[in-house]
Structure 1
Amino acid sequence: MATNPVRGIVVFSGGSAANSLVDVFNAVRKNKNCPLSYIIPISDNGGSSSELIRVFGGPGIGDVRSRLVRLIPDCPTNLELAGIKAFFNYRLPPAADAAHDEWYSIVEGTSPLWKSITPAKRELIRSFLNHLNLEILKRARPPSSTFDFTSASVGNLFLTGARLFSGSFESAIYLLGSICSVPLEDVRVTPAINSNFSHHISASLADGTVIVGQNSISHPSETTALQPVRRRPSLLLADGEDFSSESDDLSYEDSHLPGSLPTLRNKNINFTKSAVEELPSRISRVWYINPYGQEIRPPANPRVLEALRSSQAIIYSIGSLYTSIIPSIILRGVGQAISTCPARYKILILNGSLDRETGPSTHPYTASDFVEAIVRAGEESRGRGRGLQKLNGTVAIPESHAPVKSAPQGSTPGLSLPHTAYVTHVIHLEGPATPRVDRERLNEMGIECVRVYGRKVESPSGEVVGMTYDSTALTQALEVVLGKRGDAMVRGTLGEKSRRNTMESMAGK
């Protein structure tokens, strides 16, 4: 007699921020004895990913690599696993000559980084790095165009080499996961789009400004990332003439790639995640663009839809709202899969601080603003987001799309689905610099709130800049929501000692 497969947990996340919660999600997975799927966007175009995209095209792989390496099992007695983690996390020096020399010591097998890695795995890894090196040499056109190795991630270089060799991004992910001993039968790292091509995003602000490229939206290297809306954006036209970009020191062939946006062809886009300039107004919408800058609606990776349709819970992790979470939700098929899947629990883990994407400081996001952004993205994925607007602080869609029958409980008038089709619970911290949790508005949406214990995050000057989740408290809160723990624990009055190790309150307390 056939048994029904165990339904899994799906986590929408980016890279670095959510890496801090990997142990939490793994603990919940083990307690529920179910598979765990991470859905990772591929629109990252900053850092060393920008150079790989410039030379080879292809998806932004930094967040995928970051999650795979973070999932390497911790085993103090296994020196090879520690060596592999260090190897794939390693970045080449920031000086060009030193980076070039170190790269060749790696591909030649003489680098100290190989010390703890067994010969069999070393030669397997080297074969793909040498394949990439050959492709780099084939594309070099010195002195005008050469590959920039400065601060390059060795893991990103390996994934690119494996993708070019196999012709498959997911095959490259499988290879890296296998080498890193990631338990792929239990934990899956799934790119939001399965593609060998680049997929960039743009964002529009409420004041009409348009920003091109994920890095410029989230962590710009220059203030010139902002572009006022024009009838025609800054593009390289199909005939090779640059509409509005300045000439640079590249050859004509390299600086006039067919259809390439000038803002997306910079070498090795460097950025910092501290002291980032505020956006002049809120982000109103994010969308994908083709190489000509035109809007496109790519479909989601079929494995993403499969994971959602067989899920018992969906979690929106911490991270950049509009560049880590939203790019996966707006893909065709995702909104429908989230809103109709069997998952009873759709949990938003609210960030412990506000960032460039959820400001500006004069009008910071509240918890309900995070929820509404996710709902708008889901509705846009379903083809209902064009013209989706904020009316009196609520989400609405044009009347032509509105349902004839009265809106269900917990919904906003004019919205085709209740908010709880996308978010049922909000887990949050409370403290300095955290997003304000507007409980009354969330209650109107039908969304429950869970406050958990966290720790203050201080800047070097001692200023409190946010809060960070306590792993034990967050794990227990997720288990409460998912039904692992009893109602008495939810509703009971917790003592001070217990409060520091688990959730502090639920909605309505």
Structure 2
Amino acid sequence: MDTPKPKGIVVFGGGTATNSLVDVFNDLRESRNCSLSYIIPISDNGGSSSELIRVLGGPGIGDIRSRLVRLIPNSDSNADLAATKALFNYRLSSDADAARAEWLDIVEGRHALWMKVSSEKRELVRSIFNMVNMEIVKRARPSSTFNFGRAAVGNLFLTGARIFTGSLESAIYLLSQICAIPPSTSVLPAINTNFTHHISAGLGDGTVITGQNAISHPSEPTALPDANGTTDPAVAAMATEDTDAHDLIEDANLPGSLPTLRKQYIEFSKSGEEDLTSRIERLWYINPYGHEIRPRANPKVTQAIEGANAVIYSIGSLYTSIVPSLVLRGVGSAIANSGVRHKILVLNSSNDRETGPSGSPFSATDFVKAIARAGGESQGDVERLGEVRRYVTHVLHMEGEGTPAVDKAELAALGVDCLRVYGRRVDGALRYDENGLKSTLEAVVGRVEMGRSRRNTKQ
């Protein structure tokens, strides 16, 4: 009789922060001989994704591309895979004209990036590049041309593959095969869609910030209706004028959609960010006109959760990398009610713009409650904080200057266990020790071969 395969692991988190822990999660998957699923939000409207969305439409795929390329195995010992990784991670020049010339060299197969890519892979990838380039040329208008400045080549590929196949998941599958990602590891978009999805955040002082880029980086508040469905007349007049101006531009946006969702955000800095005026209290999805919507999660996301032994909320931006996936319909119920045994928050080593408003930085308890609230909102409960342990059972954290405060007694009262993990300083920033984090996760989840271990952990 065959031994049942252990239940899988699901990791929530997008962006470069979680990429730094990919090896840890892969080792955990191998020790348990199970599947590993990464859930990635598709609401990013900054960087090169903003220009793809503006001209071609579709979801924000930058974090998906980044995770897929990070998962390429053994690229150091395989010249073809190393060249593939370099190609899909490559960004064009910041100068728009130079970037366009460089892009044409890539499309035509003349760029140095192709030198060590196998011929059959090169021609397959080039066929997608040619197709997306044709789409960009077809949509060019005097009022709107595509800006190739700082464009991520992998993002252009994923967008082209999605347009060619008509399916985001098919595009991800194609890139997964090209990158030789093992079938035991999957990258799942939080929403399986061909359309753009945006988010808004509500602050405690009543301010509403629209668009992921504006939430993560300084931005003026957007003119949205108040509780009575009205806006200040002067603000509304300015918004209407701005919208009319954008409607003269031929791009992929619907007429009358919010200007802040139609702007280019190719260049932005993650340093020197202004503090939010108040804490983020709630995050939700909106349509192009700013009205709240409640999208359903990708069915494969809920299936992965229902078949998991552990859900891990990884490091990264709480409200733009994790919460956008948790508030989707179906996700909260799957986490709370499907029998997932371990629900683990790997706490950030510091607070960022989203969790560190001036004078009111988030504690570990605040992180946990935000996750629980998002799980409740997924099920339509936007008012009450439900039983926290249904969404978080463990917090893994480091101790050091600048780390979020951890009150073990407070968390224990909520039914959450705390485990301290050793960290190390890298370029002045505190980072999780990979071996220590792996051992701690194994202590919580358990490894199939060795049973539970407490090495490199402290209560």
Decide: shared fold, TM above 0.5.
Answer: yes
Is the counterpart of residue 475 in structure 1 residue 444 in structure 2? no
8 Å contact kept, 1:208–1:229: no
Q: What are the within-5 Å matches in structure 2 for residues 295-306 of structure 1? A: 295-306=292-303
Distance, in Å, in 1 between the alignment partners of 2:5 and 2:30 is 16
1:129-208 correspondence runs (5 A):
129-142=129-142, 144-183=143-182, 185-208=183-206
The answer to whether the 8 Å contact 2:129/2:156 transfers is yes
Match of 1:319 in 2: 316
Q: Distance in 2 between matches of 1:255 and 1:480?
A: 49
How far apart are residue 4 of structure 1 and its match?
4.2
Instruction: Provide the rounded CA distance (Å) in 2 between the counterparts of 1:314 and 1:76.
Output: 30
Q: Provide the rounded CA distance (Å) in 2 between the counterparts of 1:343 and 1:216.
A: 34
Decide which structure has the larger Cα Rg and report it. Answer: 1
- Say if 2:108 is the partner of 1:108: yes
Q: Provide, for residues 91-120 of structure 1, a one-character-per-residue CA deviation record: whole Å limited to 9, x for no partner.
A: 000001100100100101101110010110
What's the CA shift for 1:456? 2.6
- Alpha-carbon distance between aligned partners in 2 of 1:211 and 1:67, rounded to the nearest angstrom: 27
Q: 1:97-496 to 2 correspondence within 5 Å?
A: 97-142=97-142, 144-183=143-182, 185-220=183-218, 223-225=219-221, 230=226, 231-232=229-230, 243-245=240-242, 251=248, 253=250, 257-385=254-382, 388=383, 397=384, 415-416=385-386, 418-458=387-427, 464=428, 466-484=429-447, 490=454
For residues 75 and 4 of structure 2, the distance between their equivalents in structure 1, rounded to whole angstroms, comes to 34
SS of equivalent residue, structure 2 residue 77: coil
Query: How far is 1:15 from its partner?
Result: 1.7
- Alpha-carbon offset, residue 469 of structure 1: 0.5
How far did residue 259 of structure 1 move?
A: 3.7
Alpha-carbon distance between aligned partners in 1 of 2:269 and 2:247, rounded to the nearest angstrom: 26
Q: What amino acid maps onto 2:423 in structure 1?
A: G
Please state whether the residue corresponding to 2:242 is helix, strand or coil. coil
Secondary structure in 2 matching 1:375: helix
In structure 2, the residue corresponding to 1:293 is in which secondary structure?
Answer: coil
The structure-2 alpha-carbon separation of the partners of 1:250 and 1:91, relative to structure 1 and needing over 3 Å to count, comes to farther
Q: TM-score, normalised to structure 1's length?
A: 0.85
Contact 1:359 1:365 survives alignment (8 Å): yes
| Aligned residue in 2 for 1:402 | none
Contact 2:372 2:391 (C-alpha < 8 Å) held by counterparts: yes
What per-residue deviation string (whole Å, max 9, x for no partner) do you get for residues 129-183 of structure 1? 00001101110012x2100000000000000000000000000000001001111
Name the SS for the 1:52 alignment partner: helix
* Shift, 1:293, TM fit: 1.1
TM-aligned CA deviation for residue 243 of structure 1: 1.9
Kindly tell me: are residues 296 and 129 of structure 1, through their superposed partners in 2, closer, same or farther at Cα, counting changes over 3 Å? same
**Matched AA of 1:419:** V
Q: Which residue of 2 aligns with 1:41?
A: 41
Aligned partner of residue 76 in structure 1, secondary structure = helix
Distance 1:283 1:82, change over 3 A: same
Tell me if structure 1 keeps the 8 A contact 2:365–2:410.
yes
Tell me the equivalent position of 1:78: 78
Evaluate the alpha carbon distance shift between residue 207 and residue 227 of structure 1 in structure 2; reply closer, same or farther with a 3 A threshold. Answer: farther
Q: 1:5 Cα deviation (Å)?
A: 4.6
User: Scaled by the length of structure 2, what TM-score is found?
Assistant: 0.94
Cα distance per residue 1:347-369 (max 9 Å; x no partner) = 00000110000011301100010
Percent of paired sites with the same residue: 58
Contact 1:248 1:255 in 2 (8 A): no
Deviations along 1:283-320, one digit per CA (max 9) or x if unpaired, are: 01000001121100000000001001111110000010
Where does structure 1 lack aligned partners over 5 or more consecutive residues? 235-240, 389-396, 398-414, 459-463, 491-497
Cα distance in structure 2, aligned partners of 1:301 and 1:244:
37
Contact 1:89 1:154 in 2 (8 A): yes
**Alpha-carbon distance, 1:224 to partner:** 2.2
3-state DSSP of counterpart to 1:313 = strand
**What is the one-letter code of the residue matched to 1:451?**
R
**Aligned 8 A contact 2:203 2:282 in 1:** yes
TM-aligned CA deviation for residue 7 of structure 1: 1.2
Which letter does structure 1 place at the counterpart of 2:165? Answer: S
How many correspondences in the alignment? 451
How many angstroms apart in 2 are the aligned matches of 1:21 and 1:343? 22
4+ residue runs of structure 1 moved beyond 4 angstroms?
1-5, 225-234, 246-250, 252-256
Q: 2:65, 2:361 → 1: CA distance?
A: 32
SS across alignment from 2:273: coil
- The superposition leaves residues 361-390 of structure 1 with CA deviations (integer Å, 9 ceiling, x where unpaired) of 3011000100000000000001112xx2xx
Q: Secondary structure at the match of 1:38?
A: strand
> Where does structure 2 lack aligned partners over 5 or more consecutive residues?
233-237
Q: Give the whole-Å Cα distance in 2 for the aligned partners of 1:78 and 1:161.
A: 26
Aligned with 1:358: secondary structure?
coil
Q: What are the residue-to-residue correspondences of 1:44-83 with 2, within 5 Å? A: 44-83=44-83
Provide the C-alpha distance between the structure 1 equivalents of 2:245 and 2:105, rounded to a whole number of angstroms. Answer: 32
Deviates more, 1:224-233 or 1:473-482: 224-233
| Alignment root-mean-square deviation, CA | 2.2
Structure 1 counterpart SS, 2:220: helix
CA change 1:333–1:297 in 2 (3 A) is: same
Question: 1:46, 1:194 → 2: CA distance?
Answer: 20
- Partner of 1:371, secondary structure, is helix
Q: Provide the C-alpha distance between the structure 2 equivalents of 1:439 and 1:216, rounded to a whole number of angstroms.
A: 34
Rounded Cα–Cα distance in structure 1 between residues aligned with 2:239 and 2:186: 42
Q: Distance in 2 between matches of 1:256 and 1:195?
A: 16
Q: What is the rounded CA distance, in whole Å, between the counterparts of 2:99 and 2:363 in structure 1?
A: 44
Instruction: Compute the displacement of 1:339 (Å).
Output: 0.1
